[in-house]
Structure 1
Amino acid sequence: MIKPRRRRLCRALAVLLLLGTTAAASAADPARIDWDEWQVPHVTAPDLPSGLRALGWAQMRLRGDSIARAYLSARGTLAACVGEEALAGDIRTHQLGIPDRAREWLVAQDPEMRAGLDAYAAGMNRWLQHHPKREGVAACLQTVEPSDPLALVQALLHVGVAGHSLATQAEQWREQRGSNAYAVAPARSADGRTLLLINPHSPWRDPFTVLEQHLVVGDTNIYGMTFPGLPLPVMGFAQRHGWALTFNDVDGVDLYAATLEGDGYRFGDGTRAFTRRTVQIDVRDATGALQHLDLTVRSTLHGPVIAERDGKVLAVRIAGLERPHLLRQLWDMWQAPDMARFKQALAQQQMPITNLVRAGADGSIYYLFNGLSPRRAKGDRSFWAGVVDGGDPSLLWSDYVPFADLPQVENPPGGFVQNANDGPTSASWPTVLDRASLPATLTDDRRTPRGRRSLALMAGAGSVSLSDLAHMASDSGMDTAGLALPWLVPAALAASDAEVAGLGRVLQGWDGTATPASRGGPLFAEWSYLMRRAGMPVPAADIQQLPALGGRDEPVGVPRALTILREAGRNLHKRFGRVDVAWGDAYRIRRAGLDLPSPVGRDELGAFNAGRYQPVRDAGGATGRFDLVDASHFIAAVAFGPSGPEAQGLLAYGNKDDPSDTATRGQLTLFSQGKLRALSFTNEDVAAASREVEQMEMNP
């Protein structure tokens, strides 16, 4: 073990060595990066441009491959690097005008944010200049432009999430979302501090991977997660407040069918001309040569044309593409000293989608069903979910539901707010929002088994400590098990078939969780799958009732359910040689050269710590084992008190693209064990955790 004095000497030597490659720090720009053992960059800088310059360098060091792919895709130039596999995406990017609009957005930035984007790009370019030997997609990114992050904002949030109907990849993101968030008031916390749980979920692959970073600019100290290629954390915590985001069902995209007439299209009582522009798309062929494709993009008053059929064109209108100041809003949110200023920042309405859950050191807790929901003259959700008449002027919207009219819950009597991708009326318990008062096209106000589990955990918790909150993040108890087992187990135990009765005993001994050593979960999961396949999904209790009230009367068809249970048991015995299989034997995390037991439950079964799995197959077909492909990634449990925040957290799959990284393997192991690590936030904590230092000078 290195003694403290020796450790300080090693750090000093590391600084000198790094300064030899990055030049001496300038007094005008003394930005500093402290790297901890988990490969988290802790950036300290006197102003925003200096801090973002350092973060540009740090992000490129961490996830250069991810950033290269993301930027090239957002530019519509990925096919020139990887070939025809990216052509459809490049065409869609240019149809939607993302590259040109990103340059327009850059011009619209205020001086501080423009300087920050310039510096962020400069930091990335400095890293590229110092690391010219790159392979794969990373070799195709020669220079980063200040407009690249703005193109990425559009590609990720406006098209990738809000515009989920436009691409299969985005549909996967929308379908696989599974984020959780809590804010707990001091009256409900064990020590009088305000608590926050940040627990987003998404697929563990690009373009959905995230990174963890820490930025201190003057008096602004922010720690959180962002997407590689975006400069600011999109969620996390600061000195006196923090927030989590979860995806919601704001419908910010509409499809219009317009009838062709001559060289234009019919609109109202007349004909309108298309707006036309031509772009060139380069595609690398199998020989390595570039082929050139000229693409003519037509647009109606609604938006760009993305398809044509039977004398009609299909145009798309996406909310928020005329609002270029998301990064400014984020920075204002991070700097907001209190709830009133925080709401002022939110009222800028630059975010196209997401729920928000906030906690503050002043004891305030807050939920917002956030997003840009068009103010539509007529129709309900089902009407706008289809293709609407592009010739009807009354259907062309131009503004959004104002911030004041969005569903919000502040300091409810239950002492907590939550979201698990369910609707706004379940934000608290007892509920304080009325479903009938919600705008007709705003939300379906949906309910999910995981959302019921989330409510049950917090509503039944009594007083909650920071440690309790951290344990909740790893809770894998399955909501559907609580509904089904009360009738399934007695029926199985009473069966005359000894095989079925034995399976009932397995389920009777199961604790209802997906902890790796727990036996019985794979049997229940297999039975649930076979029940759904047979058209007999596991029943749900009254969705308006608190889950703690328990299950309901047994469903019709119990004999059929027992027959399916026997089939499930035989499937497990065939694959594993036993029916009481441990969860961690069937459900695995195979990543970065590791093969670990998974502690993650299945989302469709209502686990709070939920994920989605991919079946493992071999030459003989299904093996009965599953690989985790979508789950929690950045987790932070935070307590806000008079002395500042205390936080525990994790980035499950690590902070680097390199799968051989020791820190990546360490975090995966902690995740498998259901553990979190301390997050270094104060200057003293960062200094103690620092393992390497880099300092950035003013000019490359």
Structure 2
Amino acid sequence: MYLWQFDRPILKRKFFRFLAFILSAILVVVLANNSFATAPKTTEILWDTYGIPHIYGKDAPSAFQAFGWAQMQSHANLLLRLYGQARGKAAEYWGEEYLESDKWVLTMGVPDRSNSWYRAQSPAFRTYINAFASGINTYAKAHPDLIDEQVKIVLPVKPEDVLAHLQRVLYFTFVVNQEQVAGITHTQSEAGSNGWAIAPKHSASGKAMLLANPHLLWSDLFVWYEAQITAPGMNASGAALVGIPVLTIAFNDYLGWTHTVNTYDGWDVYKLKLADDGYLLDNKVRPFTTSKFLLKVKQKDGSLVEQPLLVKSSVHGAVVQEKDGFAVALRVVGADRPGVLEQWWDMARSQNLTQFQKVLKRLQLPMFNVMYADREGHIMNLFNGLVPIRQQGDYQYWEGLIPGDTSKTLWTKMHPYKDLPRVIDPPSGWLQNANDAPWTTTFPAVIKADDYPAYMAPRGEMDFRAQSSAKMLAEDPKISFAEMIKYKHSTKMELAERILDDLIPASQKYGDELTRRAADILAAWNRNADADSRGAVLFSFWWQEMDKNQTFSIPWSENSWHTTPDGLKDPESAAKALQIAAAKVEKAYGKLDVAWGEVFRVGSGNLDLPANGGDGDLGIFRVLNSAPSTDERFQAVAGDSYVAAIEFSQPVRAMALLSYGNATQTGSPHITDQIPLFTRKQLRPVWRTRIEVLVHLEERKTF
């Protein structure tokens, strides 16, 4: 009997299914080849079913223009509002609630510096920024009905607006922000991140792998935008913050990198002694330079009220406070480094470690660790940043208010690339950073703190999230791609792993009936913050009641980095804290063993799902930060945002997720479409070939 006689119905059905598969594959190839044939002559955006734009530019300016168009289609209202704020005119456009933002932007000199930075761009890259702004404006002209009326006042966007936005985001939010300066404190940034690089010797496939995992707010200028950009000499996938015209975390067929917020000091505040309308420096009176601005503030009736702003500046920087016979001036790195965007663009065009490092040596990027892996099997972590060369003091000293009456404290030069802490291809086969200092990026330690100036980065305790990060890498000698993704979603509380063996017996000894019931629940708990974990809420409430500086009897030690700190310093007080926490949990939720996902939620609009993950302070690698909502519940507002797992095989293998979706524009189906994957701890495939994109095509735009 021959197959083509179709004597069996099952064989017949299988044949036609096979035939249909072959015909569809042929169709895709034909479409792809036809598109390839036209690619050099046209520029396209192919939107996939998750709203990810795949941009095919006939040349670099065309790719930038298409990227501007794409960002407007997905985030027009947000982008224009951010650019309005970067101009320092948001109060004029939208009211008094933006007044402090405008004062900050103008005091920091952002609009004026954006003009000088624009002139300082290389001729080629200036045309790229022009093209990006043109794409924004072209979209706005084509689709005015899709843009809110109140933000149209920002149009047309100028190339200088792009650079002003870059400065506001990078220098005056990440490097230093208004809240830190108001309190004159180097409080830890709310922005966080995880990053891994795994060498072939440590991976199951024998290929290098990279994990990108920034933790940012899910709103405002922190929103990520995922894309693929293809142009001559460029084929990179990754993400940029909305309004930034280049990918800032990315990978191509050869290499990739991610950024983590580093333990870095790129700003200082100086106490200036006032004298004769000036300030003292080396026993001489120096005059302030002044700039006058006339702010316009929109009132509720639509009228404008003018408000003057006088900005005083010293050799240290702009004056941010003035009282009691002294002034406080803020000095920030990077005013002379206008090439940040071009550096990121060229990082994405690099094809090997040598090329990549050559780009990094420009030192245009003022901060962020660079975690790197490539197809040749190299891995690297660079403590990147513009680090001032200081004549004295350690890290803690420079976090305080610095004497400004002597030039001995006034830094003017930066450390070159060769001075920055860096490790390439460590013996361990792995690198990690969870916003810890460079000294703990791998074990056995490769970078020694004593080899660097005391002000380079802080020394001391490795927090629990970083410990969890390093432990997962150290304890698995051969990590597969699937395991890397599984580990990335770990909700295990490293703090609970460390302290429950002391807390439970202490509570049973010193506690009342309620405390002992709470201890029984903690004993049965799996020590994770999964949606169905019972005991996690109780434990997190207990930690809120504890004095963090008086919890442990054994301090952290580098020699025992994965088992310290440990031991309860005051078991009786810890039991009392559990009693208080248990009373609060029972009152709020009617039971002690309430599930984590009943209390912590994630969603938007009508979407309301149980969350998993939690604060990194608890030692959770899968970070999810929440804010109080209703009925004693908490709503996710920050944490895991853009996630990418990459294996540098041939072809590159990649999975990714943008937790909240790739759009904010009203009516887009992609505002929340990735949240269900997020709650299931899943990533989605990254489609990089044109054939893959065409199979999952949602929309096409040709220019």
TM-score normalised according to structure 1 size: 0.91
Aligned to 1:35: 47
SS in 1 for 2:519: helix
Give 1:615 shift: 2.5
Superposition pairs of residues 674-693 of structure 1, within 5 angstroms: 674-693=681-700
Give 1:695 shift: 1.0
Superposition pairs of residues 16-415 of structure 1, within 5 angstroms: 30-133=42-145, 134-135=147-148, 137-164=150-177, 174-415=188-429
- Contact 2:437–2:458 (8 Å) recurs in 1: yes
Choose the corresponding residue for 1:426, options 422, 440, 454: 440
Aligned length in residues: 676
- Contact 2:39–2:57 (8 Å) recurs in 1: no
Aligned to 1:654: 661
Partner Cα distance (1:27, 1:500) in 2: 68
CA RMSD for the aligned pairs?
Answer: 2.8
Partner Cα distance (2:113, 2:387) in 1: 21
Summarize deviations over 1:31-57 as a string: whole Å, max 9, x none.
110001111110011321110000000
Partner Cα distance (1:7, 1:558) in 2: 67
Letter of the 2:108 counterpart: L
- Contact 2:381–2:424 (8 Å) recurs in 1: yes
Give 1:173 shift: 9.9
SS in 2 for 1:305: strand
**In structure 2, do the counterparts of structure 1 residues 528 and 295 end up closer, same or farther at CA, with 3 Å as the change threshold?**
closer
Give 1:298 shift: 2.5
Partner Cα distance (1:368, 1:32) in 2: 36
Choose the corresponding residue for 1:640, options 639, 643, 648: 648
Partner Cα distance (1:153, 1:282) in 2: 23
Letter of the 2:118 counterpart: L
Choose the corresponding residue for 1:516, options 515, 531, 534: 531
Partner Cα distance (1:277, 1:365) in 2: 47
Give 1:164 shift: 3.2
Give 1:540 shift: 7.0
Partner Cα distance (2:272, 2:569) in 1: 49
Asked if 1:478 is matched to 2:478, the reply is no
Structure 1 residue runs of 5 or longer lacking an equivalent are 14-24
Letter of the 2:50 counterpart: W
Summarize deviations over 1:216-273 as a string: whole Å, max 9, x none.
1123211111111111110121111111101112111122233333343332243333
Choose the corresponding residue for 1:452, options 458, 461, 467: 467
Asked if 1:463 is matched to 2:478, the reply is yes
Partner Cα distance (2:682, 2:138) in 1: 37
Give 1:491 shift: 4.0
User: Bigger CA drift: 360-369 or 686-695?
Assistant: 686-695
Summarize deviations over 1:387-411 as a string: whole Å, max 9, x none.
2232312222111111101111110
Summarize deviations over 1:298-326 as a string: whole Å, max 9, x none.
22222222232233332221100111000
SS in 2 for 1:106: helix
Letter of the 1:483 counterpart: R
Aligned to 2:588: 575
User: Bigger CA drift: 197-206 or 302-311?
Assistant: 302-311
- Contact 2:612–2:624 (8 Å) recurs in 1: no
**In structure 2, do the counterparts of structure 1 residues 689 and 571 end up closer, same or farther at CA, with 3 Å as the change threshold?**
same
Summarize deviations over 1:358-400 as a string: whole Å, max 9, x none.
0111000000111111111222223322222323122221111
SS in 2 for 1:176: coil
Give 1:27 shift: 8.7
- Contact 1:373–1:442 (8 Å) recurs in 2: yes
User: Bigger CA drift: 413-422 or 593-602?
Assistant: 593-602
Give 1:28 shift: 7.8
User: Bigger CA drift: 328-337 or 50-59?
Assistant: 328-337
Partner Cα distance (1:511, 1:627) in 2: 23
SS in 2 for 1:422: coil
Asked if 1:505 is matched to 2:520, the reply is yes
- Contact 1:178–1:603 (8 Å) recurs in 2: no
Give 1:598 shift: 0.7
Partner Cα distance (2:463, 2:533) in 1: 24
SS in 1 for 2:230: strand
Partner Cα distance (1:568, 1:203) in 2: 28
- Contact 2:396–2:458 (8 Å) recurs in 1: no
- Contact 1:236–1:636 (8 Å) recurs in 2: no
SS in 2 for 1:200: strand
Give 1:482 shift: 0.7
Aligned to 1:631: 639
Which 4+ residue blocks in structure 1 deviate beyond 6 angstroms?
3-10, 25-28, 168-173
Structure 2 residue runs of 5 or longer lacking an equivalent are 1-19, 32-36
**In structure 2, do the counterparts of structure 1 residues 547 and 250 end up closer, same or farther at CA, with 3 Å as the change threshold?**
closer
Between 1 and 2, higher relative CO (CA 8 Å, sep ≥ 6) is seen in: 1
Partner Cα distance (2:557, 2:626) in 1: 26
Aligned to 1:599: 612
Give 1:64 shift: 1.1
Aligned to 2:13: none
- Contact 2:279–2:285 (8 Å) recurs in 1: yes
Letter of the 1:667 counterpart: Q
**In structure 2, do the counterparts of structure 1 residues 248 and 675 end up closer, same or farther at CA, with 3 Å as the change threshold?**
same
Partner Cα distance (2:256, 2:38) in 1: 32
- Contact 1:528–1:537 (8 Å) recurs in 2: no
Letter of the 2:162 counterpart: P
Give 1:463 shift: 0.7
**In structure 2, do the counterparts of structure 1 residues 276 and 541 end up closer, same or farther at CA, with 3 Å as the change threshold?**
closer
**In structure 2, do the counterparts of structure 1 residues 556 and 310 end up closer, same or farther at CA, with 3 Å as the change threshold?**
closer
Partner Cα distance (2:195, 2:600) in 1: 25
User: Bigger CA drift: 315-324 or 381-390?
Assistant: 381-390
- Contact 1:420–1:454 (8 Å) recurs in 2: yes
SS in 1 for 2:587: helix
